[in-house]
Amino acid sequence: MSTQTAAPDLRYPVGQFSKPAQYTDSFRRAAIATIAEMPAKMRAAVAGLNAQQLETPYRPGGWTVRQVVHHVADSHMNAFIRLKFALTQDTPTIMAYDEARWAITPEYAIAPEAALQLIDGLHQRWAALWRGMSGADFARKLNHPERGPMSLDDLLALYDWHSRHHVAHITALRARQGW
């Protein structure tokens, strides 16, 4: 009888996104803290990596470490703008984008420091915006063309997960590689 355990799914080092059953003030505070702390965690995750390591995919067929950092900047910029639209318009339909195609645009070839600087300032503003929202604001909605209607609580939960997810891609790779 085999006692093999399944190999971990390198695509989802913190598990797949799962919407919480309910949103509480405690959940919101923790999720906002994740967003506020992510820039330092991302910087720590890539600290000291050389050019070859930055070009290493976090999994076979996956993005390189450099691409992951640039993706986080792009994704979180889009999420910040989506949040602002939802706070200032009635159920806006937001624009989706092809993240795989964005990951091969020319600026992804530059050093990740530019993306890290962007993430630093963006997350400072983003956390301040989340912290300043009222309870009613979290119930506001946006319409995502691929995900359907989402509350701002849903958006917060998604980007709490997304922040942890991509930092873990890099830290898990480093652990596997012994970097």
Whether residue 65 has pLDDT greater than 70:
yes
Q: Which residues are CB-neighbours of 8 under 8 A, at least 6 positions away?
A: none
Residue type, 109: A
- pLDDT score for 96: 94
- Give the strand pairing for 148-151 and 141-144: antiparallel
Whether residue 10 has pLDDT greater than 70:
yes
Percent of residues, the chain, with pLDDT higher than 70: 96
- pLDDT score for 38: 98
Mean pLDDT for the stretch of residues 68-96: 97
CB-based contact 71:80 (threshold 8 Å):
no
CATH of domain 25-177: 1.20.120.450
Model pTM?
0.94
Name the token pair of 162.
Answer: 């997304």
Whether residue 82 has pLDDT greater than 60:
yes
Alpha-carbon distance 155 to 5, whole Å? 34
Whether residue 3 has pLDDT greater than 80:
no
Provide the b/e sequence for 116-142 (b: ≥16 CB within 10 Å): bebbeebbeebbebbeebeeebbebbb
Whether residue 170 has pLDDT greater than 90:
yes
Residue type, 166: H
CB-based contact 97:78 (threshold 8 Å):
yes
Whether residue 25 has pLDDT greater than 90:
yes
- pLDDT score for 148: 95
- The residue extents of the domains of the chain are 25-177
Confidence of residue 39 (pLDDT cuts 50, 70, 90): very high
Cβ atoms < 10 Å from Cβ of 100 = 10
Confidence of residue 84 (pLDDT cuts 50, 70, 90): very high
